[in-house]
Amino acid sequence: MKRSQSFQLSLLHPRYWLTWFGLLVLFLLVQLPYPLMHKLGMWMGRTSMRFLKRRVTITRRNLELCFPDMDSAQRERQIIGNFESLGMGLLETGMAWFWPDKRVKRWFSVSGLEHLHQAQQGGRGALMIGVHFMSLELGGRAMGLCQPMMAMYRPHNNKAMEWAQTKGRLRSNKSMLDRKDLRGMVQCLKSGEAVWFAPDQDYGPRGSVFAPLFAVEQAATTNGTFMLVRMAKPALVPVVLIRRPNALGYDLLIQPELEGYPLTDDVAAATYMNKVVEKEIMRAPEQYLWLHRRFKTRPAGSPSLY
């Protein structure tokens, strides 16, 4: 569990200079007025398609797999919109890490906070079910300004970036939990904390089962949700941050506590959770992280989908 991180002089080693330069550029860019930043982010995303051709291919393939009835013209528009969202997501990371509270609050509204309060009555923990929208970092900052949480994450291999992301994420939240720290997450939930958890990515065959996701009948789905619910018995509360069009800000949407989650069958539980993930993604599909090889893990003997 990481509640703070002191700065070490070793982080000034020349190997980190490029990282610090990139963070400085990001800090300067997010000082721009938000409408101008929005245009810049969209332009950056479209331009990146020239250099991220493999990611464009992965995005196209994911959309083909999930939405086989989508016509090619619509799919190509979705891909462009997705990369525009990627460019904006980079700037939103800077907004989350560097903006003061007052400026963040000015650009988002929240609905459904009462659902979280109701779910936590009596000191019950809440597992905040999120998905990997491009605005993920800003969503964590916004949620923390409404109610400080704890969040599952993967430590960064670059120590300078790890320091920066931890400091940024703890501006409005309590602590960061390594995604492998199941015991720590259970303890936090049992003590009545709200813990952010995203069950929507392919984390490999270990600890996963296969369940339907959109039109893909067998998508590797983490068993982490199932284990946490069985061990800590938290409320399950979906939360996402949606970017409004035309540089009009963001909506933080907190849904009512989920009901009927299967407690005895891990495949049924994964199927249930993937339906929740689908619903959240469809709120703004162009803002979702389709660049990830979501279906890279296949059942034994099955061919690759990429």
Please write the tens of the pLDDT for every residue from 22-66: 999 999 999 999 999 999 999 999 999 999 999 999 999 999 999
Q: How does pLDDT run across 206-261, given as a tens digit for each residue? A: 989 999 999 999 999 999 999 999 999 999 999 999 999 999 999 999 999 999 99
61 vs 185 pLDDT, higher one: 61
pLDDT at 139: 95
Q: How does pLDDT run across 275-304, given as a tens digit for each residue? A: 999 999 999 999 999 999 999 999 988 999
Q: Give the predicted TM-score (pTM) of the model.
A: 0.93
7, two tokens:
């700065």
Residue 18 resides in a domain: yes
Number of domains in the chain: 1
125 vs 152 pLDDT, higher one: 125
Contacts of 218 by beta carbon, 8 Å cutoff, 6+ apart: 210, 211, 212, 298, 299, 302
In contact, 207 and 223? CB cutoff 8 Å: yes
What is d(CA 47, CA 40) in angstroms, rounded to the nearest whole number?
Answer: 10
Q: 247 — alpha (psi -120 to 50), left (phi > 0) or beta?
A: left
pLDDT at 194: 93
Rounded to the nearest 5 degrees, what angle is found at the Cα of 110, between the Cα atoms of 108 and 112?
165
pLDDT of 73 above 70: yes
Q: What percent of the chain has pLDDT over 70?
A: 98
**pLDDT band of 138, cuts 50, 70, 90:** very high
Q: What percent of the chain has pLDDT over 90?
A: 82
Residue 3 resides in a domain: no
- The 3 state secondary structure assigned to 173-222 is CCEEEECCCHHHHHHHHHCCCEEEECCCCCCCCCCEEEEEECCEEEEEEE
149, two tokens:
């949480």
Residue 301 resides in a domain: no
pLDDT at 119: 95
What is d(CA 41, CA 129) in angstroms, rounded to the nearest whole number?
Answer: 27
Contacts of 209 by beta carbon, 8 Å cutoff, 6+ apart: 220, 221, 223, 266, 267, 270
Residue 47 resides in a domain: yes
Residue 296 resides in a domain: no
Average pLDDT, the chain: 93
- Note the Cα 144 to chain centre separation in Å: 14
Our CA dihedral for 276, 112, 148, 168, rounded to 10 degrees, sits at 70
**pLDDT band of 162, cuts 50, 70, 90:** confident
pLDDT at 5: 66
pLDDT of 180 above 80: no
pLDDT at 3: 58
pLDDT at 2: 55
Domain of residue 239, residue span: 9-287
pLDDT at 96: 96
What is d(CA 106, CA 214) in angstroms, rounded to the nearest whole number?
Answer: 35
What is d(CA 146, CA 144) in angstroms, rounded to the nearest whole number?
Answer: 5
pLDDT at 1: 56
Q: How does pLDDT run across 99-120, given as a tens digit for each residue? A: 999 999 999 999 999 999 999 9
Q: Residue 241: what are its φ and ψ, rounded to 5°?
A: -110, 120
108, two tokens:
């988002």
Residue 300 resides in a domain: no
Residue 179 resides in a domain: yes
Residue 137 resides in a domain: yes
pLDDT at 182: 81
